[in-house]
DNA sequence: CTGTTAGCGCATTCAA
DNA sequence: TTGAATGCGCTAACAG
């Protein structure tokens, strides 16, 4: 049987409240008493019960992180950053991998373990406006990605339009003329995909290049196999492309592999750019030029927004923060074949 | 203000107990009553408070997963599997990234959010025997990795000795004679590293090859940069190696990159094998031969062991399960340069 | 500075 | 089958 405050109080000959004060460092407790209580705590091996504390105080110190998947490098790195940022605030992270399925996302959004978590950091894939419960119902929520809802929730996003345009601009600047795109999505819910596609198109326009719809390849999900398939499709159906913009690094890594299998040289024949800057791309062959998203900033900001909302204004106007991005040039567009690593 | 059972009871004109019965499907409740209560629940949007339920029942439905890091592919994939296996049991996973630091691991081991989690799945890196609290103190625990403690906890492991020996055997079978190893660790706590090193040596002996200590390279941590550094060290200091066994895939991916940079052809000049079978290795160039660990089985088993312990015998004798491994041959040791993907 | 008294929301005794 | 009372372990008021 676990020791409770009652036991400690009895042992130390004080009241239960005094024990509480010692444990929580609240109020000033006389040194004498404090020492006696501390001794009792140590002897009994008392540890405060987080559940009871949570029930009483209304705070659990738990934040949920709902992501499509943990094993995609981008989300894995993001999760790592969130866990670290949360730890700095004394929070523990509860993770939910939704698989990007609308149903699971709905469950996540309406509050994992109701009333247990203090807040939710949520990166939806399939959810649309209206699918999120009203701000009043669930716990305070910070959305990662696009504003898929009109609910009054905080948001951390990146300028996906500019991200894709940056990639195109870079390629055009290198003299590439036939720039394909891999990762478009037809689904209504692929908001990020849509924005990156628009950015790609605008990049072409700005560079004075034509938009050839035949150069745009769909990818139902943004993983390596789809990237490889996309590259094969481009090689089979279209002639003479000299660059590919991939809507994330995983797609790009699949593209690199398929191009190599087909005997296409990168960057000599075709240049490739990704988005995200996951570690794999720094060690691939060739290493991958990418538009890096500031994952640490995204994570930190999400935690900060949540903290602010918990600290005070529950119904302050929602805030939206745009995290940074920057082009990282590596071998897949520019570097010499045997360049050293750019870590 | 959130609706509670009291509100629902008042609204439905029944007692709290009846509401509880309806919510938990316990006891038989008259259909009439059930419908009335259900209606009240829906109208008020009542959701049972997980914290209160947990305090009362002693069960939270939360299991903690403590890993060194979430952003290494092996752990990311493992975490994904654990989250899925836990979901199948109705559990939610709370993650802790310890960074492999002894202090943080000690915190994790002694129970994240004391009394809040029902169990712990723990993959220690730096912890040694005795660092784990007694079985009685913390929550039921399943250890992933080696038995670093004499505490009576369940264990899921792999035969690391055989894993490394398998890799060597494969290389020797291909006629490789000078087989190096990357990933040895001097630290007392690197139990996995020690076992794989022993397996490597035994593999050499069995193949009738000499053990040359100059061919063994240390790696403080098992990530790509250390792998690349290891390969450079081997190329610089030692001549004429024709194969490298890496103690995990991340090291191997670093090795592949460094070899390419040095103009060494894989597998023609040097063959490379890893351990884990993470997805990156299936798309690297060349694709990576590896000793695949059954991560899904590891995760599933861990969750099952925990479930068994929670279900009944808290002090049943601890069980140890050895998860499977198998050699997956790809281009880095055998395949032709332009082989198709082996997914 | 410390003790007493109430709950937090739920599930579980007991009665009825 | 349902209702009333009790307590899980803790903290927030208020007293003292």
Catalogue the long-range contacts made by B17-25 (C-beta closer than 8 Å, 24 or more residues apart).
B23/B48
Those of residues 142-201 in B touching chain A at CB distance below 8 A are none
Q: Which residues from chain B sit within 8 angstroms of residue A343, using beta carbons?
A: 225
Q: What are phi and psi of A289, to 5 degrees?
A: -70, 140
Q: How confident is the model at residue B339 (pLDDT cuts 50, 70, 90)?
A: very low
Instruction: Decide: CB of B16 under 7 A of nucleic strand C.
Output: yes
Up-side HSE of residue B292: CA atoms within 13 Å toward CB? Answer: 19
Residue B71 sits at the chain A interface (C-beta within 8 Å): yes
- For helices B50-57 and A50-57, what crossing angle results, to 10°? 140
Q: Nearest CA to the C1' of C5 belongs to which residue?
A: A17
Residue B182 has pLDDT above 70, yes or no: yes
Nearest by CB to residue B70, choosing from A80, A94, A340, is A80
Q: Which residues from chain A sit within 8 angstroms of residue B49, using beta carbons?
A: 55, 114-115
Closest CA to A196 of A140, A113, A274, A132: A274
Q: Mind listing the pLDDT tens digit for each residue in A264-314?
A: 999 999 999 999 999 999 999 999 999 999 999 999 999 999 999 888 767
Cβ atoms B224, B187 nearer than 8 A: no
The token duo for B261 is 């940079």
Q: Mind listing the pLDDT tens digit for each residue in A231-255?
A: 999 998 767 899 999 999 999 999 9
Contact A71 B77 (CB under 8 A): yes
Chain B closest CA to A28's CA: distance in Å?
A: 25
Those of residues 30-59 in A touching chain B at CB distance below 8 A are 45, 47-52, 54-55
Q: What is the 3-state secondary structure (H, E, C) of chain A?
A: CCCCHHHHHHHHCCCHHHHHHHHHCCCCCCHHHHHHHHHHHHHHCCCCCHHHHHHHHCCCCEEEEEECCCCCHHHHHHHHHHHHHHHHCCCEEEEEECCCCHHHHHHHHCCCCCCCCCEEEECCCCCCCCCCCCCCCCCCEEEECCCCCCCCCEEEEECHHHHHHHHHHHHHHCCCCCEEEEEECCCCCCHHHHHHHHHHHHHHHHCCCCCCHHHEEECCCCCHHHHHHHHHHHHHHCCCCCEEEECCHHHHHHHHHHHHHCCCCCCCCCEEEEEECCCHHHHCCCCCEEEEECHHHHHHHHHHHHHHHHHCCCCCCCCEEEECEEEECCCCCCCCCCCCCCC
Q: How confident is the model at residue B338 (pLDDT cuts 50, 70, 90)?
A: very low
Catalogue the long-range contacts made by A143-149 (C-beta closer than 8 Å, 24 or more residues apart).
A144/A78, A144/A298, A144/A302, A145/A191, A145/A192, A146/A191, A146/A192, A146/A195, A147/A320, A148/A124, A148/A189, A148/A191
Q: Which residues from chain A sit within 8 angstroms of residue B279, using beta carbons?
A: 71, 224
Contact B62 A94 (CB under 8 A): yes
Q: Distance (Å, rounded) from C-alpha A33 to C-alpha A9?
A: 11
User: What's the mean per-residue pLDDT of chain B?
Assistant: 89
Residue B159 has pLDDT above 90, yes or no: yes
Interface A–B counts its CB contacts (< 8 A) at: 162
Chain A closest CA to B264's CA: distance in Å?
A: 11
Q: Kindly report which listed range (A73-77, A209-213, A321-325, B239-243) carries the lowest average pLDDT score.
A: B239-243
Chain A closest CA to B287's CA: distance in Å?
A: 9
Q: Kindly report which listed range (A331-335, B135-139, B315-319, B330-334) carries the lowest average pLDDT score.
A: B135-139
Cis peptide bond prior to B257, omega within 30° of 0: no
Chain A closest CA to B206's CA: distance in Å?
A: 34
Contact B113 A254 (CB under 8 A): no
Q: Kindly report which listed range (A210-214, B151-155, B255-259) carries the lowest average pLDDT score.
A: B151-155
Give me the pLDDT at residue A274, please: 98
Strand B92-97 vs strand A325-328: parallel, antiparallel, or unpaired? unpaired
Q: Kindly report which listed range (A84-88, A115-119, A316-320, B130-134) carries the lowest average pLDDT score.
A: B130-134
Instruction: Tell me which of B50, B56, B101 to substitute to probe the interface with A (most A C-beta atoms closer than 10 Å).
Output: B50
Give me the pLDDT at residue B188, please: 74
Q: Mind listing the pLDDT tens digit for each residue in B227-252?
A: 999 999 999 876 789 999 999 999 99
Those of residues 112-141 in B touching chain A at CB distance below 8 A are 112-116, 137
Cβ atoms A246, A200 nearer than 8 A: no
Q: Give A108 CA → C5 C1' in Å.
A: 39
Q: Which nucleotide is nearest to A56 (CA to C1')?
A: C8
Q: Mind listing the pLDDT tens digit for each residue in A138-185?
A: 788 899 988 766 667 899 999 999 999 999 999 999 999 999 999 999
Instruction: Decide: CB of A18 under 7 A of nucleic strand C.
Output: yes
Give me the pLDDT at residue B187, please: 77
The token duo for A106 is 């709905």
Contact A285 B256 (CB under 8 A): yes
Q: Distance (Å, rounded) from C-alpha B149 to C-alpha B144?
A: 12
Cβ atoms A293, A92 nearer than 8 A: no
Contact B51 A51 (CB under 8 A): yes
Residue B60 sits at the chain A interface (C-beta within 8 Å): yes
Cβ atoms A65, A142 nearer than 8 A: no
Give me the pLDDT at residue B146, please: 84
Q: Which residues from chain A sit within 8 angstroms of residue B95, using beta carbons?
A: 79, 83, 93-95
Alpha-carbon distances, residue B211 vs B87, B186, B203, B233 (angstroms): 47, 18, 10, 18
What is the percent of chain A where pLDDT is above 70? 91
Q: How confident is the model at residue A200 (pLDDT cuts 50, 70, 90)?
A: very high
Chain B closest CA to A320's CA: distance in Å?
A: 26
Nearest by CB to residue A95, choosing from B95, B279, B280, is B95
Contact B94 A92 (CB under 8 A): yes
Sign of the CA dihedral with A161 first, then B72, B232, and A268 last:
negative
Burial of B311 (0-12, 13-18, 19+ CB in 10 A): exposed
Cβ atoms B271, B246 nearer than 8 A: no
């Amino acid at each position: 049987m676990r020791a409770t405050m009652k036991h400690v109080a009895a042992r130390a000959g004080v009241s239960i409240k005094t024990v509480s004060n010692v444990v929580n460092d609240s109020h000033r407790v006389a040194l004498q008493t404090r020492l006696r209580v501390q001794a009792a705590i140590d002897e009994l091996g008392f540890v405060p019960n987080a559940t009871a504390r949570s029930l009483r105080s209304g705070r659990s110190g738990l934040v949920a992180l709902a992501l499509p998947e943990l094993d995609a490098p981008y989300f894995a790195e993001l999760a790592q950053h969130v866990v670290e940022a949360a730890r700095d605030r004394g929070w523990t992270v509860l993770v939910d991998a939704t698989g990007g399925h609308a149903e699971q996302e709905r469950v996540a959004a309406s509050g994992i373990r109701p009333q247990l978590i203090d807040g939710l950091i949520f990166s939806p894939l399939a959810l649309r406006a209206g699918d999120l419960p009203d701000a009043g119902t669930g716990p305070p929520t910070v959305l990662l990605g696009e504003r898929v809802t009109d609910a009054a929730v905080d948001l951390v996003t990146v300028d996906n339009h500019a991200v894709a345009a940056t990639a195109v601009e870079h390629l055009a600047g290198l003299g590439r003329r036939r720039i394909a795109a891999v990762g478009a999505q037809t689904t209504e819910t692929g908001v990020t995909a849509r924005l990156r596609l628009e950015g790609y198109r605008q990049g072409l326009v700005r560079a004075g290049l034509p938009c050839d719809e035949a150069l745009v390849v769909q990818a139902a999900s943004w993983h390596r196999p789809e990237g490889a398939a996309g590259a094969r499709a481009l090689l089979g159906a279209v002639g003479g492309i000299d660059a590919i913009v991939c809507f994330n690094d995983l797609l790009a890594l699949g593209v690199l592999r398929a191009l190599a299998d087909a005997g296409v040289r990168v960057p000599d024949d075709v240049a490739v750019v990704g988005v995200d800057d996951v570690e794999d791309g720094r060690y691939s062959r060739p290493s991958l030029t990418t538009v890096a998203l500031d994952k640490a900033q995204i994570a930190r900001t999400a935690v900060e927004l949540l903290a602010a909302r918990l600290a005070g204004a529950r119904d302050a106007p929602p805030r939206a923060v745009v995290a940074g991005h920057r082009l990282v040039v590596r071998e897949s567009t520019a570097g010499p074949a045997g360049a050293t690593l750019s870590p």
